Amino acid sequence: IGLAAALEAGWSATASYPAPNVVEFEIAGTIEENRVWRVTGGVNGHKGLEARFEEGLAALEKYQRREEHLDVPPDHVETVRVWARGSERKSREESVELAAWMNNRRYEYDRGELFTFRVEALEAVPGWTWEPPEGEALLPPPIPESVTLIRGVRSSYNTVYAQLNMEMGPHRVVSMARRLGMESPIQEVNSNVLGTSNTTMLDMATAYSTFANRGVHIEPAYVTRIIRRSDGTVLWEWSREQERILDARLSDQLTWILEGTITQGTGHRADFGRPAAGKTGTTQNYADAVFVGYTPQRTTAVWVGFPEAQIPMIPPTTDRKVYGGTYPALIWKDVMEAAHTDLPMASFAAPPPSSTTTTTRPPINAVPTPELIGLTLENAVKMLKDAETDIRIVNAVRVEVQGSEPGTIIGQSPGVGTSIRPDGSMLVEVVVEPAAIETVSVPNLVGHLAEDATALLTSEGLGYETTEVDDPDDPNAPVGYVWWQDPVPGTEAAPGAIVSIRVSQ
């Protein structure tokens, strides 16, 4: 959706942006052992900051702008307005004991998505300096590779689209989403392009079906006809209402880019032998995974996760780390194969010549795709080298899988049974030994706000299950606070383990 907004606004699909793996900044804090607050965000990071930390940053910024210094009185309370998560309109006022907040932070939150205006405000705060401990030095980060918007989509480089959104403005993403038929609340903030607002699979399927229809939007309908059972009389029939909201050539260019996600990107498992386009999606800590895609005839959106709680889908909870290109793409493939059983083969419209200088040519003297599954990467490379073709492996993705021999190829694209050019490129997945599982100490959550408790559990890689029920020993307990948890604080748990909490209502 962000790409559609950018193309419509005049951005070139070949525009290049640096694609860093990690965004990081440091805020000097307490003079005790944890002297720095560090906030990092990874390529696939979708997580917002822990609620109290975010409120504290807003309070600190407000105080510094007003007072032009940071000598906060010990008992000073700063009031800030906090927007409800997932809402464009609902807000509330929160009081922050600013001096205590500045001196008593103890947590390090990883993979946080940082809104640009907050980062800029913090960087402009005067008077703080920090030096590394004696004998240590700060090393500059490596210069990130620059990639085009095309590759950014196909390889899911989210930092590329974060930069794009800061340039073009988050309002364009909100506007495009509304025109595509998405009804879920989407905040007008720079991180919205990364999927930080909750949406439904119906919203996603509706939006992507507009791309499939070459820019024509059709409202979804659950019921298409009502018939009287007794005599077959049609009492009501759905009437198609459609509206062009995207230029057909722009939509064709977008589809061509999304086709590459399946043919040579993160969605290669969704390939089912027909022209198709789509996009993978993975949320914080692997708790949600999505694949949305379409052919000229059908659109399908798939979500995989645990409905009852935000449970990370990582070993040992699942046999592998689950992201959009794994189970969701495989499910999408099965669904679409069944949905196209009696449909003729159809192709997308050709993209405009300006889309790319490397548009796909029809296969010349195509040959059967080599079967590499079951081989080691070394043996596969040797086999291709010994063959009478120039087929090569251009990408080997390391995948942590339990129960498989490390070094073995377990997936390939193009798949077995397809054809490939004699000088074609292949992507393979190679099993690696799962990392040793380090246990996590369950934190003490009793007495915390529920949103703080769940954010803390998520940052520790733990899942949670929340029950809203009054404390029988304290019926007048404030609403929204945790009064019971299981396991108890200090229990060593595996990553992804579920912590049950009870919250006063």
- Greatest mean pLDDT among 77-91, 267-281, 458-472 lies in 267-281
Strand partners, 362: none
**Which residue did the predictor score with more confidence, 48 or 129?**
129
444 is a domain residue: yes
Give percent of the chain with pLDDT exceeding 70.
Answer: 79
Residues 251 and 371 in one domain: no
Contact 313, 299 (CB under 8 A): no
Residues 198 and 333 in one domain: yes
* CA gap 37, 16 in Å, rounded: 32
**Domain at 179, CATH number:** 3.40.710.10
- Greatest mean pLDDT among 134-148, 204-218, 367-381, 423-437 lies in 204-218
Residues 245 and 152 in one domain: yes
Give the total number of structural domains in the chain: 4
Residues 112 and 153 in one domain: no
Residues 156 and 297 in one domain: yes
Other beta carbons within 10 angstroms of residue 437's beta carbon come to: 12
Q: Which of 123, 158, 193 is the last residue of a domain?
A: 123
Other beta carbons within 10 angstroms of residue 53's beta carbon come to: 20
Is the model's pLDDT at 39 over the cut of 50? no
**Mean pLDDT (whole number) for 21-25:** 41
pLDDT of residue 203: 92
**What residue numbers bound the domain in which 495 lies?**
440-503
**Domain at 484, CATH number:** 3.30.10.20
Contact 113, 191 (CB under 8 A): yes
Residues 354 and 376 in one domain: no
Print the SS3 string covering 256-267: HHHHHHHHHCCC
- Local structure of 479: helix, strand or coil: coil
**Which residue did the predictor score with more confidence, 418 or 91?**
418
Print the SS3 string covering 170-226: HHHHHHHHHHCCCCCCCCCCHHHHHCCCCCCHHHHHHHHHHHHCCCEEECCCCCCEE
Residues 203 and 291 in one domain: yes
Taking every pair of Cα atoms in the chain, the longest distance, rounded to a whole number of angstroms, is 89
Counting Cα atoms < 13 Å in the Cβ hemisphere of 210 gives: 28
pLDDT of residue 305: 92
Residues 304 and 171 in one domain: yes
The residue length of the chain stands at 505
332 is a domain residue: yes
**Which residue did the predictor score with more confidence, 400 or 473?**
473
pLDDT of residue 139: 64
pLDDT of residue 127: 52
Nearest to 291 by CA among 321, 320, 319, 258: 258
pLDDT tens readout for residues 262-289: 998 889 999 999 999 999 998 867 889 9
Q: Which of 106, 123, 140 is the last residue of a domain?
A: 123
Residues 339 and 293 in one domain: yes
13 is a domain residue: no
pLDDT category, 83, cuts 50, 70, 90?
low
